[in-house]
Amino acid sequence: MNLLGRLKLTAEIARGRLFILFLMLAMCFISFYMADVCMSDYFYNLSTIKRYEGSFGEDNKNIYWINSQVSNKDMEQPSYEFFSRFGEIEGVEAYGAFLSNNCNLTYDGSGEAVYDGLIKVIAVTPGTMSIAGLKLSDEQIDEFAGYEGEYTPVYVGSKFADRLAVGTVFSVSGFYEEQQCIVCGVLPEGAKWLWRGRYTSIQDTGMDEAILLCADYDKYIEMNKYATGKIQVYFKCEESQKQEVQKDVYELAAECGYYISIYNIGEEIEDLKSEYGLSDNKQFYSSVMLIVIAVLSIMIAVMTMCMQNKKTYGIMRAFGVPQSSISFVIVIQNAFVNVVGAVAAWLVRRGRIYEMYGDSFERGEDVITSAWNYSHNIVMPVILAACVVFTITAASVFPVMYLKRLKPIEMIKS
C-alpha cells in the first residue's frame, strides 16, 4: 500500500472515532499547556534572577544598597551630606552611587552624531565600579577612576567598539551640561551595571549598548541635582564587619537627618531563589514531575485508544492489509494527537504572554520580555519537541509489538 493509501486509511479510521480523537486532543492540549506554564515560568524566573545576580560583583553577599524611606524634596540636601561623609565609616571597602540618562553623542568638533538616536549613559562615582558586574580587573578600574586630563573618562559598550575606539573624543548631551569625554577602554561583552533598587523594579542592566562615564563627587552632585535629586548609595564591606558597618551607616544617616533602609544584595537573591523555589530546585522538580505525568498520561491514553481499535485492525489484517500499514496508522494517529496538542498549547500560551507585552515580547527589548522570549520561544519548543517524540515512540511501540503477535481471528473476537 502506497503512502497516499495509508493516509486515506488513517483518515477513515479516525473519522469513525472523532469523539475519542477530540478527547485525546483535549487531553494532550491541557497536559502540554500546564507543562508549558510550569516550565516557562521556571526558566523566566531563573533568567531574571540570574540577571539580577549578575549585575553585582561575584561577592554579592558583601554588597548593600541604601535607599531613603522618604521621597520628598526635603531629603535632597541630607542625602548629599550623607553621601559626602560616607567615606568616614570604617570597614567600607568601596562605595558610590550612579545615575543614568538617555543621551545624544556627537563627535568632538564636527558635531556629527555618533549614533542615530539616544544612547544610555551611566554616570558613576569611582567607588561604584568595583561593586558592579563589569568584568573589569582592579587595575583597569583603578586606571579608569584615576584618569587625569581635560576630558571626562568613559568606557564604551562592546557594540560601540568599532565606532568609538580608545582615544576617541566626543560630547555627551543629556545631563546638566555637555560633557567632553574620551574613550579609555571597551567593556567586555556581557558586562552589566548595578540593578537600581530592589528586584521588584525589573530593568535592563546590560552594558553592551551603553556608555559608562566616571564622575568625581562634585560633578556627580551637579548631575544628580539635574537628574533625580535624592542619592541612592551602594557599598561593600566584609561579612565579619557588616553589623558594625550597618550600625555606623544608620548613625551617620541620623546625624544628617536622612531616613534610610539598608538591603543586603546576597540575602535579597537568596530570598528570591527561595520564593520561586530555585534555591532547592523545588519548582524545577515540580515542573519535571508535571511533564513526566503529562507524558505518561498521554502515552497511556493513546495506547488505550489504539487497543480499542484492535477489532478494526484485525479485520484489516483478515482482508490482507499488511502489518506495516497498520503500524503506520497507529504511528500517524499518535503523531497527530501529540503534535497538534503540543503546538496548540504552545501557541495559546504564547498568545497569553503576547497579550501582556505586545510586539516587544518578540523583540525582547527589556529584561522581562527577553526573559520570556528565552523561556517560551527557545527553551519550551525544545522541551515540547522532546516530549512529543518520546510519547509518540513509547505509545506506538507497545501496541504495534502486541498486535503483531496476535492472529487476525484473536483481534476480531476481542
Distance CA 241, CA 124 (A): 25
Output the nine-digit C-alpha cell for 237: 564591606
What's the mean pLDDT when you consider all of the chain? 82
* Domain ranges (residues) in the chain: 3-53+280-413, 70-258
* Side chain identity, residue 175: F
- pLDDT beyond 80 at 245: yes
Residue by residue, DSSP assigns 94-111 as EEE-EEEEEEEEEETTT-
What pLDDT does residue 199 have? 76
Sheet containing 233-237: give its strands across.
92-96, 233-237, 63-68, 260-264
Average pLDDT rounded to a whole number, residues 126-155? 89
- pLDDT beyond 90 at 250: yes
Average pLDDT rounded to a whole number, residues 225-241? 81
**Other C-beta atoms lying within 10 Å of the C-beta of residue 186:** 18
The number of CA neighbours under 13 Å toward the Cβ of 284 is 9
Output the nine-digit C-alpha cell for 381: 519548543
Average pLDDT rounded to a whole number, residues 65-80? 76
Distance CA 282, CA 266 (A): 20
Burial 401-411 (b: 16+ CB within 10 A, else e): eebeeeebeeb
Distance CA 207, CA 121 (A): 9
pLDDT in tens, 342-394: 999 999 998 888 888 776 666 555 667 778 888 888 889 998 998 888 888 88
Q: What are the start-end ranges of the H helices in 131-264?
A: 138-145, 217-227, 242-256
For residue 237, what pLDDT band results from cuts at 50, 70 and 90?
Answer: very high
pLDDT in tens, 314-341: 777 777 777 777 778 778 888 888 899 9
What pLDDT does residue 364 have? 55
- pLDDT beyond 60 at 1: no
239 vs 366 pLDDT, higher one? 239
| Site of grid cell 539635574 | 226
What pLDDT does residue 201 have? 64
Which sign, positive or negative, has the C-alpha torsion 11, 13, 14, 15?
A: positive
For residue 15, what pLDDT band results from cuts at 50, 70 and 90?
Answer: low
Taking a C-beta distance cutoff of 8 angstroms, is the pair 179, 216 a contact? no
For residue 89, what pLDDT band results from cuts at 50, 70 and 90?
Answer: very high
What pLDDT does residue 275 have? 81
Distance CA 225, CA 16 (A): 76
The Cα angle at residue 203 between residues 198 and 209, in degrees rounded to 5:
135
What pLDDT does residue 17 have? 67
- pLDDT beyond 70 at 12: no
Residue 340: alpha-carbon gap to chain centroid: 28
pLDDT in tens, 156-195: 999 998 888 999 999 998 888 888 999 999 999 989 998 8
For residue 224, what pLDDT band results from cuts at 50, 70 and 90?
Answer: confident
What pLDDT does residue 274 have? 84
Give me the percent of the chain exceeding a pLDDT of 90: 21
The helix (H) or strand (E) run that includes residue 198 is none
Distance CA 271, CA 265 (A): 10
97 vs 311 pLDDT, higher one? 97
How far is residue 165 from each of residues 124, 158, 161, 214, measured CA to CA in Å? 21, 10, 6, 17
